[in-house]
Amino acid sequence: MLKYFQKKYAMSEKGAKDLFHSIIWTTVMDISFMIPVVLGFKFLDEYMGSLLHSSNSRTDSILYYVIMSAAFVLVMFVIAYFQYASAYTKVYEESANQRIGLAETLRKLPLAFFGKKDIADLSSTIMEDATQIEQLFSHTVPQLYAAAVTTVLMGVMMFFYNWQLSLAVFWVVPVAIFVFYLSTKFQNRMHAELYNKKRDISDEIQEGLDSAHEIKAYNREEDYSNKISLNLDNFEKFLIKGELLLGAFINLSYMFLKLGLPSVILAGAYLLATGSVNIFTYLVFLVVAARIYDPIMAAFDNFAALLYLNVRIKRMKEMDAMPRQAGKSVIHPENFDIEFNKVDFSYQEGVQTLKNISFTARQGEVTALVGPSGGGKSTVAKLSARFWDIDKGVITLGGEDISLVDPETLLNNFSIVFQDVTLFNSSVMDNIRLGKKDASDDEVMKAARLAQCDEFIKKLPQGYDTRIGENGEKLSGGERQRISIARAMLKDAPIILLDEATASLDAENESKIQTALSELIKNKTVLIIAHRMRTVSGADKIVVIKDGAIAETGTPFELKEQQGIFSSMVERQYGVNLQQ
């Protein structure tokens, strides 16, 4: 049973045990709700029989039942306490562990994974799906199993008491279950489509928020608004259609269940008339028939919710099953040379991105990756930091095969400056300190000065303590870029990756950043990706990548002499500059 729960609901072993205990306590609580009814009927039976005896006997009987009622209230309170603890407190603990588990899964996924997934998709899974699962496991799943167990137990006891009346009560149950079962295939399909449609709308809203400037700049507000409205209308229609069809199936099941009470009335009247049962038994079954279907109907409702839960659990399982990157947590490289040896790589099967890439980026040298757009430069740089795992060949860091090294351990040796900078809505000090979490204020300020940040930071209202807004919206592009370089300087890692670090900057900012970069790359292994030839003119080695393969390798002087791709790129860029 525990293995089933773990597999079915993507739970931990402890979570499966807690769910099992929750089902037991919820079942016990449901059964305890029948105690007052049984006690009441027993009292009436004895009280009616005692009418022939003295009043003292009736008084003693009443006192006995008052004491028993008080005792049962206390017992039910204890049962309710344990049921609450198992069905709610334990579920919330498991939910917290699931969220932590998801975060750990994301932490171990290749960094490139996050380039293929949008924020809305990931946040929906981590927050909304986890919340819905938490809600269903605390309010639905234990109650569903408990209702099934309670109904079976009550049915068995009632069949032993009187099988004819029990048959009249329960013949409708398998019919109602069969009708509900017919709807499960439709429900599964509807829930899957509903989930996907809802996620698509969330993605579009997120995309609109991220692209608000572009939408306004090109006067596409109305088009975007109409698109969202149309999708919301279609979603609403689909939701109404699904709810109507689902409601039809569930209410049809309810209708069959409601036939149980008339069956008991008719069957009981016949048995009473023939003397097969007494009036007391007949009344007992009438009361039971009026109440026994409530947990069954609740089970139908809960099972419908459980089918929707399956869609979310499937999504959680998909994320949990994603291949994690692992490896040894301690490495001792001989040096910080990065060597590519006959490396092949593809983002998707059948479409090769890189072919037979071989070169060495040596420590103490600047290696520049250049070439036409889409040739694979950024891919090569990111493979060196194990953003992805390669298909063929080997990449080594100081002789260590990086595919055998844990990515977090590997990235301790890298400082990376991307073209697209990500900053947080925190102080300048905190944003720079991201490079080294235990850095002192003096260390942060020193890195800021080296990165040419100190001048503009001092002009901010609170200096280094100024909050810079979401993604640094209060700073210019050049200032944001220099904050990123300050982070890299603070980290002071032996390997530097610069991915188009100055591509979108004006001449003044580029000059300041080039000065900062000259400080950053001293005595390091440096990989630079750039389209501007003056950015790589001082490189020790140029690797020209075209169509996923290395077309040329050499020093800037050597490649200019070859009159190949690099020489052509230099001539085109300087030709444009001269005409300007």
DSSP state of 471: G
State yes or no: pLDDT of 494 exceeds 50: yes
Which residue from 426, 418, 522 is spatially nearest to 475, judged by alpha carbons?
A: 426
Percent share of the chain, pLDDT over 70: 86
pLDDT tens-digit map of 559-574? 888 888 888 888 877 6
- 115 confidence band (pLDDT: 50, 70, 90): low
Task: Quote the CA–CA distance of 420 and 299 in Å, as a whole number.
Answer: 52
Of 263, 265, 271, the residue nearest 173 (C-alpha): 263
Closest CA to 292 of 145, 179, 172: 172
Predicted confidence at residue 579, as pLDDT, reads 36
Can you say how many angstroms the Cα of residue 305 is from the centroid of all Cα atoms in its chain?
A: 20
Q: Please state, in angstroms and rounded to a whole number, the distance separating the CA atoms of residues 86 and 14.
A: 12
Q: Is the per-residue pLDDT at 488 higher than 60?
A: yes
Residue 113 confidence class, pLDDT cut points 50, 70, 90? low
Greater model confidence, 578 or 514: 514
Quick one: which of 491, 347, 326 has its CA closest to 406? 326
Asked which of 37-46, 144-153, 447-456 is least confident by mean pLDDT, the reply is 37-46
Average pLDDT value for residue range 398-422: 88
Question: What does the pLDDT average to over 140-146?
Answer: 77
Q: Are 310 and 184 in contact (CB under 8 A)?
A: no
CB atoms within 10 A of CB 223: 11
The pLDDT of residue 505? 61
Tell me the chain's radius of gyration from C-alpha atoms.
Answer: 35
> Measured between alpha carbons, how far is 229 from 210 in angstroms, rounded to an integer?
18
| E strand intervals along 424-530 | 495-499, 525-529
pLDDT tens-digit series, residues 293-343: 777 777 777 676 677 677 777 777 777 777 777 888 888 888 899 999 999
pLDDT of residue 578: 34
What does the H/E/C string look like for 333-375?
Answer: CCCCCEEEEEEEECCECCECCEEEEEEEECCCCEEEEECCCCC
Stated as kind and residue range, the H or E segment containing 552 is strand 549-554
Rounded to the nearest integer, the mean pLDDT of the chain is 80
Indicate the range of 122-126, 272-276, 370-374 predicted with least confidence.
122-126
- What domains can you pick out in the chain, each with its CATH number? 2-320 (1.20.1560.10), 338-579 (3.40.50.300)
User: Could you tell me which residue, 62 or 354, shows the higher pLDDT?
Assistant: 354
pTM of the predicted structure, to 2 decimals: 0.64
Alpha carbon of 501 to those of 419, 535, 536: distances in Å? Answer: 5, 10, 12
Q: How far apart are CA 425 and CA 470, in angstroms?
A: 5
Residue with tokens 């449609």: 197
pLDDT value of residue 504: 56
In this predicted structure, the answer to whether residue 193 has a pLDDT above a threshold of 70 is yes
